[in-house]
Amino acid sequence: MCGIVGLFLKSPALEPQLGAMLADMLEVMTGRGPDSAGFAVYGAGDPGRLKLTLRGGDLTMIAQALGDVASAEVRDTHMVLSVPRQDEERVRAWLAANRPDVVVTGAGQRIELYKEVGLPAQVARRFGLDSMSGTHGIGHTRMATESAVTTDGAHPFSTGQDQCLVHNGSLSNHRSLRRMLEPQGIRFATDNDSEVAAGYLTWKMREGASLAQALEASLDDLDGFFTFVVGTESGFAVLRDPISCKPAVMAETDDYVAFGSEYRALAGLPGIEGARVFEPEPARVYAWERH
């Protein structure tokens, strides 16, 4: 069991509240996943700069060492490093050489990605989710069934710039998919099956597919149980496996599209009383794009 939440804002007026709304949704899903939690928020971004979310100890030392190129914001065990695009390789090389212990959890123009072991409310509080603003965000509460309770095993997973995925379910052909994807240059940081699903979508989109097309293709290539919620720089999408093994409910208003594993997660959203509440159909891609 796991809990998934997602929020895609149509109304800019709600953007300052995105984090607070997402934090409440995440906390309600504690019963579905008390082991660990994570979330990705698509906030402000500059086309000329890249945001790298890093996880590890003594992060201020990195900020100081890279101070000539990067600006940094530390949040508990994570730090968002903003670097000019042209310095990306240099910064990554420096990290690999000097701080191989540090994990890059996400990278992109706008994505920030945080995950930790612990109760969802504590995780959200440690990172200050409730004060974050953004256009869309995705969160996950984990109840580990297939692998250990570690930060590495927590979602979301990001395998491409400004892309992330959360998953409720389990994939049975992730080993063979991984063997297919690695020679294509898709890199994986963990042994987790959900990361392979993220990598699959990254590969499809790199080959020219839209987010919706990539998910459509995954119905043929992924074997197992899944409810996915996926974010890109401008997009937000939902897909359930063909027998809808895992729960999902959505709400749409003029102001937002919201996803929850259960309706409870959506119950506190503004204007939920008037929302169109529906259950996404199995094997059907639901996708929204910002214009």
Partner 1 sequence: MAVVDLARTSRRELNRALHDLPADTNETLWRVENPAGQHALAAGLNAPVTVEIAGHAGYYCGGMNQRATIVVEGNAGVGVAENMMSGKVHVRGDASQSAGATAHGGLLVIDGNASARCGISMKGVDIVVKGSIGPMSAFMAQSGKLVVLGDAGDALGNSIYEARLYVRGAVKSLGADCIEKELRDEHRAELRGLLDAAGIGDEVSVDQFRRYGSARTLYNFHVDNAAAY
2 a catalytic residue: yes
Q: Which helix (H) or strand (E) holds 122?
A: helix 120-127
Taken in order 102, 106, 107, 111, is the CA torsion positive or negative? negative
In the complex, minimum distance from the CB of residue 278 to partner 1, in angstroms, rounded to a whole number:
7
How far, in Å, CA of 273 to CA of 162, rounded?
Answer: 32
Residue number, 10 or 284, with CB nearest to partner 1: 284
**Phi, psi at residue 206, to the nearest 5°?**
-60, -35
**Interacting stretch for partner 1, rule CB under 8 A, among 98-106, 123-131, 137-145, 240-248?**
240-248
Residue number, 25 or 62, with CB nearest to partner 1: 25
Indicate the Cα dihedral angle 111, 116, 121, 124, nearest 10°.
-30
User: Within a 10 A sphere around the Cβ of 40, how many other Cβ atoms?
Assistant: 33
| Choice from 262, 284, 288, 290 touching partner 1 (CB under 8 A) | 262
193-206 and 174-181 helices cross at what angle (nearest 10)?
40
Task: Establish if 149 lies at the interface with partner 1 (CB under 8 A).
Answer: no
How far, in Å, CA of 229 to CA of 4, rounded?
Answer: 8
- Helical residues (DSSP H) of 66-119, grouped into ranges: 88-98
| Choice from 49, 99, 264, 290 touching partner 1 (CB under 8 A) | 264
Indicate the Cα dihedral angle 211, 49, 152, 196, nearest 10°.
30
DSSP 157: B
In the complex, minimum distance from the CB of residue 272 to partner 1, in angstroms, rounded to a whole number:
9
Report the site for partner 1 in 241-260 (rule: CB under 8 A).
Answer: 243-244, 247, 249
Task: Establish if 263 lies at the interface with partner 1 (CB under 8 A).
Answer: yes
How far, in Å, CA of 230 to CA of 60, rounded?
Answer: 31
In the complex, minimum distance from the CB of residue 262 to partner 1, in angstroms, rounded to a whole number:
6
Residue number, 188 or 263, with CB nearest to partner 1: 263
| Choice from 216, 277, 284, 288 touching partner 1 (CB under 8 A) | 277
Residue number, 32 or 78, with CB nearest to partner 1: 32
In the complex, minimum distance from the CB of residue 142 to partner 1, in angstroms, rounded to a whole number:
20
In the complex, minimum distance from the CB of residue 168 to partner 1, in angstroms, rounded to a whole number:
14
Residue number, 104 or 269, with CB nearest to partner 1: 269
Q: Which residues bind partner 1 (CB under 8 A)?
A: 243-244, 247, 249, 262-264, 266-268, 277-279, 281-282
Active site residues: 2
